[in-house]
Amino acid sequence: MDASSTPPLTHDELNALVDGQLTAAQRAAAMAQVADDPLAGATLQAWQDQREALRGLHQKLLNEPIPETLLAAVQRSTRERQALAPWWRWGGLAAGVLLAFAVGWTAHGQFGHTVPYAAGHAARAGLAFAHQASLAHAVFAPEVRHPVEVGAAQQEHLVQWLSKRLGKPLKVPVLSSQGYELVGGRLLPGEGGARAQFMFQNAAGGRVTLYLGALDGSLVAGKPANAETIFRYSNDGPVPAFYWMDQGFGYAMSGPVTREELMRLAELVYQQL
């Protein structure tokens, strides 16, 4: 099987590669695929960097004893002592308390208050989505000859193709009021499904990209129909991004522009989509 017919590595396979869970033969095969896949290579490098950063950040915490107050809170919330006895013997409860503390501490540091698990999960997923959008922009925006798979001249075909692959009717937003015209788009792999990327360019050659795709349904479960869409800014990547979630879909506008310009573009996209 040649490289062109080999399916791209999934996120599970990239995770296994980062975590050292592959055999020597599997690792060699995966690294060969990464060498031929710029997006997979950028994702792998970013995850390896994040892993090392997190290890350094939480090393002291992982070596500290579990606070008595947290242990007491778990005990108070547990009605069936006998059901928890095996976890005490095997260390599972201690690990669970530490995980809850680490998640709560991280959420507190990032958002200024402790967030419920579901909200924290959605926030982390949103940040991951924005990071993937930023990586995709960094990989394809500099391309001169092949920045997109389907050019703007075939916009109708592009929209039909990506709509079919993403399982949702799509449309290309018009950004000419901000000086940007469509270059084209492409299909990309994403966490749990396909992603689409639309690329736009201004008269000076500057490029921005719109990255979109379906999100885990649990992230939007219970959201009121009239709930306001919240735009969030992320600079956790090669270029900054404004991202938002709406009706089970994630959207991220990325590019090496000012925060104000990126926000104007994101709002314009939102109004049209």
Report DSSP state, residue 251: E
d(CA 182, CA 233): 23
Per-10-residue mean pLDDT, the chain, length 273: 63 76 83 81 74 61 59 53 43 42 40 43 76 90 89 94 92 94 91 88 94 70 52 86 86 93 92 88
pLDDT at 25: 84
* First-to-final CA distance of the chain: 40
Class of CATH domain 129-272? alpha beta
Residue 142, Cβ density class (10 Å: 0-12 exposed, 13-18 middle, ≥19 buried)? exposed
Sequence ranges of the domains in the chain: 3-57, 65-111, 129-272
pTM exceeds cut of 0.85: no
pLDDT at 21: 78
Q: Are 124 and 243 in contact (CB under 8 A)?
A: no
d(CA 202, CA 10): 33
Number of H helices, E strands in the chain: 9, 7
pLDDT at 228: 54
DSSP-based three-state secondary structure for 80 = coil
pLDDT at 104: 43
d(CA 27, CA 12): 13
d(CA 191, CA 11): 6
pLDDT at 68: 61
